[in-house]
Homo-oligomer: A and B are copies of this chain.
Amino acid sequence: MKDILENFAQGKISLEDALSSIKLLSCRAVGEIAKLDTHRADRIGIPEAILAEGKNKEDLVKIALAHLEETGSVIVTRISDEQFVAFEKIDLPEGTICDKNSIARTLVLRIGSKKSSMGKVGILAAGTADIPVSEEAKIVAEEMGCEVISEYDVGVAGIHRLFPSLEKISDVDAIVVAAGREGTLPAIVAGLVDVPVIGLPVSTGYGVGGSGLAALHSMLQSCSVLAVVNIDAGFVAGAYAAKIAIKRSYQQKQF
Q: Is A236 part of the binding interface, using a Cβ–Cβ cutoff of 8 Å?
A: yes
With CB as the reference atom, state the residue of chain B lying closest to A237. B227
Interface residues of A in 223-255 (CB under 8 A from B): 223-233, 236-237, 239-240, 243-244, 247-248, 251-252, 255
Give 1 or 0 for each of A191-226: 1 = CB within 8 Å of chain B CB.
110111010010111111110111111111111111
Give 1 or 0 for each of A77-106: 1 = CB within 8 Å of chain B CB.
000000000000000000000000000000
Q: Is A33 part of the binding interface, using a Cβ–Cβ cutoff of 8 Å?
A: yes
User: Within 8 Å CB of A36, what residues of B?
Assistant: 18-19, 22
How many Å from the CB of A171 to the closest CB on chain B? Answer: 10
Asked if B251 and A227 make an inter-chain contact with CB atoms under 8 angstroms apart, the answer reads no
Bound complex: CA of A33 vs CA of B5, how far in Å? 11
Q: Is A13 part of the binding interface, using a Cβ–Cβ cutoff of 8 Å?
A: no
A: interface residue count bin: 35 or more
Asked if B213 and A227 make an inter-chain contact with CB atoms under 8 angstroms apart, the answer reads no
Interface residues of A in 103-118 (CB under 8 A from B): none
Q: Is A43 part of the binding interface, using a Cβ–Cβ cutoff of 8 Å?
A: yes
Asked if B27 and A164 make an inter-chain contact with CB atoms under 8 angstroms apart, the answer reads yes
A181 contacts which of B181, B222, B247 (Cβ < 8 Å)?
A: B222
User: Within 8 Å CB of A59, what residues of B?
Assistant: 128
User: Within 8 Å CB of A24, what residues of B?
Assistant: 167
The interface residues of chain A, by DSSP majority, are classed as: helix
**Protomer copies:** 8
Asked if B203 and A209 make an inter-chain contact with CB atoms under 8 angstroms apart, the answer reads no
Asked if A160 and B34 make an inter-chain contact with CB atoms under 8 angstroms apart, the answer reads yes
Asked if A159 and B128 make an inter-chain contact with CB atoms under 8 angstroms apart, the answer reads no
How many Å from the CB of A10 to the closest CB on chain B? Answer: 16
Asked if B182 and A223 make an inter-chain contact with CB atoms under 8 angstroms apart, the answer reads yes
User: Within 8 Å CB of A213, what residues of B?
Assistant: 208, 217
How many Å from the CB of A181 to the closest CB on chain B? Answer: 4
Q: Is A188 part of the binding interface, using a Cβ–Cβ cutoff of 8 Å?
A: yes
Contact A22/B27 with A216-B208, A229-B228, A247-B194 known, Cβ cut-off 8 Å: no
Asked if A230 and B207 make an inter-chain contact with CB atoms under 8 angstroms apart, the answer reads yes
A30 contacts which of B163, B184, B191, B244 (Cβ < 8 Å)?
A: B163
Contact A225/B243 with A27-B167, A34-B158, A40-B194 known, Cβ cut-off 8 Å: yes
A26 contacts which of B29, B158, B225 (Cβ < 8 Å)?
A: B29
Q: List 9 A-B contacts (CB under 8 A).
A: A22-B32, A30-B160, A156-B188, A159-B188, A206-B233, A207-B212, A214-B218, A217-B218, A227-B229
